[in-house]
Amino acid sequence: MIPLSWFLAVSAILFVIGFFGVLSRRNAIAILMGIELMLNAVNINVLAFWRYTQPENPAGLVWAIIVITVAAAEAAVGLALFIALYRLRTTVNIDEVDLLKG
Partner 1 sequence: MVLQAIFILVALFTIGCALMVVLHRNLFISALFLIASFFGVAVIYVLLEAEFIAVAQILIYIGAIATLIVFAIMLSRGMMTGRTSPRNAQALWAGLGSVILGIALLYVVAYRVQWPVVQKDVPADAIARLGSALVGRYVIPFEVASVLLLAALIGAVMIAREKEV
Distances from the Cα of 34 to the Cαs of 21, 39, 42, 49, 67, in angstroms? 5, 9, 13, 23, 15
Nearest in space to 81 (alpha carbons), one of 10, 31, 43, 42: 31
Q: Which of residues 6-45 bind partner 1 (CB under 8 A)?
A: 6-10, 12-21, 23-27, 29-30, 32-34, 36-37, 40, 43-44
- Which of the residues 71 through 100 are near partner 1 (CB under 8 A)? 71-77, 79-84, 86-87, 91-95
62 touches partner 1 (CB under 8 A): yes
Which CB atom, from 20 or from 102, has the smaller least distance to partner 1? 20
